[in-house]
């Protein structure tokens, strides 16, 4: 399966951001992509750097104007498409939602981000209600996609449940970078941890992983920090954690790579982790902490 990913910068000009995403979709499709993945919240700036009620106006319903645009792109280019939108579900109820479109432009399914961070420059709990759809892969014409979003990528439980439900690929639209006060050694530790844990999900579940991150500097308009330098470096890893591609840290890229879905079967035969799981002893995982 040929997968395209669109690593882009974003600005306060929503239409320019959308146009850039559409250009990325078109370029990836021209290179033969059957599936195209966009980064987290690609229609706008990463607005969670500060808490501001007026920014809820950026959200739209699903289906709505934004889904119409990307549904049309999926249909035009005959690709399965993973987008990431700020969803207005009801007054005062908002989600960080991934929308998956079929090749005919229909919505194949949605995933609402389950794990919501609240850290300096990442004040997502102010904006997003935790997802309520669970960890269910989305069936498409290119396979069952285990779509998760950004902060979800730190949780092995999420990856495992997607894999146990039959996901053939784990996909992480992402917006992660360095806050302006992070020292160089801390920056390296953060990136290495991010890269390692997602490759670990690939290994533990015998699945390919695709993580598409935004790139470029985005200012904090509130002035509380110096903004975020998003580190890009979108990547794909195979079912043994092997790195198939890693994008740059400082520029936009519209990349297509080929993933061999057969390798999941081959790897799981030699590393039968699912067979050897001791599920009768894992009940503690449903506890907050084992006091």
> Does the pTM exceed 0.95?
yes
Average pLDDT over residues 90-107: 98
* The pLDDT of residue 225 is above 90: no
Overall number of domains in the chain: 1
Q: Does 204 fall in a domain?
A: yes
Catalytic residue check, 76: no
pLDDT the model gives residue 181: 87
Catalytic residue check, 150: yes
- List the CATH number of the domain containing 182: 3.60.110.10
* The pLDDT of residue 54 is above 90: yes
Which among 73, 78, 86 is positioned nearest to 41, based on CA atoms? 86
**Residues 162, 170 contacting (CB under 8 angstroms):** yes
pLDDT the model gives residue 161: 98
Q: Residues 162-211: pLDDT tens digits?
A: 999 999 999 999 999 998 888 999 999 999 999 999 999 999 999 999 99
CA distance 8 to 72: 20
Q: Does 261 fall in a domain?
A: yes
Write down the catalytic residue from 28, 150, 168, 179.
Answer: 150
Which among 235, 253, 232 is positioned nearest to 244, based on CA atoms? 235
Residues 6+ apart with CB under 8 A from 2: 31, 32, 33, 34, 35, 256, 257, 258, 259
Write down the catalytic residue from 10, 20, 40, 218.
Answer: 40
Q: Does 44 fall in a domain?
A: yes
Catalytic residue check, 113: yes
Q: Does 278 fall in a domain?
A: yes
pLDDT the model gives residue 226: 87
Range of the domain at 128: 2-286
Q: Does 27 fall in a domain?
A: yes
Q: Does 291 fall in a domain?
A: no
pLDDT the model gives residue 149: 98
Write down the catalytic residue from 20, 88, 113, 218.
Answer: 113
Torsion 247-252-258-260 (CA) sign? positive
């Amino acid at each position: 399966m040929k997968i395209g990913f669109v690593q882009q910068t974003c600005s306060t000009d929503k239409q320019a951001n959308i146009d850039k995403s559409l250009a990325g979709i078109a370029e990836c499709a021209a290179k033969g992509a059957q599936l195209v993945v966009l980064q987290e919240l690609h229609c706008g700036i990463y607005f969670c750097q500060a808490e501001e009620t007026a920014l809820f106006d950026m959200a739209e319903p699903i289906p709505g104007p934004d889904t119409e645009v990307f549904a049309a792109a999926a249909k035009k280019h005959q690709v399965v498409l993973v987008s990431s939108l700020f969803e207005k579900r009801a007054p005062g109820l908002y989600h960080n939602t991934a929308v998956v479109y079929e090749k005919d432009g229909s919505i194949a399914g949605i995933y609402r981000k389950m794990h919501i961070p609240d850290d300096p420059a990442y004040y997502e709990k102010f904006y997003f209600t935790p997802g309520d759809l669970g960890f269910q892969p989305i069936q498409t014409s290119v396979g069952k996609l285990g779509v998760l979003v950004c902060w979800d990528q730190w949780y092995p439980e999420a990856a495992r449940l997607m894999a146990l439900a039959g996901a053939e690929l784990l996909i992480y639209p992402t917006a992660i970078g360095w806050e302006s006060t992070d020292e160089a050694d801390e920056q390296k530790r953060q990136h290495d941890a991010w890269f390692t844990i997602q490759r670990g999900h690939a290994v533990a579940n015998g699945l390919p992983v695709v993580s598409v991150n935004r790139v470029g500097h985005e200012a904090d308009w509130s002035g509380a920090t110096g903004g975020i330098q998003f580190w890009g470096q979108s990547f794909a890893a195979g079912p043994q954690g092997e790195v198939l591609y890693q994008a740059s840290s400082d520029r936009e890229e519209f990349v297509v790579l080929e993933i061999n879905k057969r390798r999941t079967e081959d790897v799981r035969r030699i590393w039968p982790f699912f067979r050897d799981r001791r599920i009768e002893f894992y009940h503690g995982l449903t506890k907050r902490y084992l006091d």
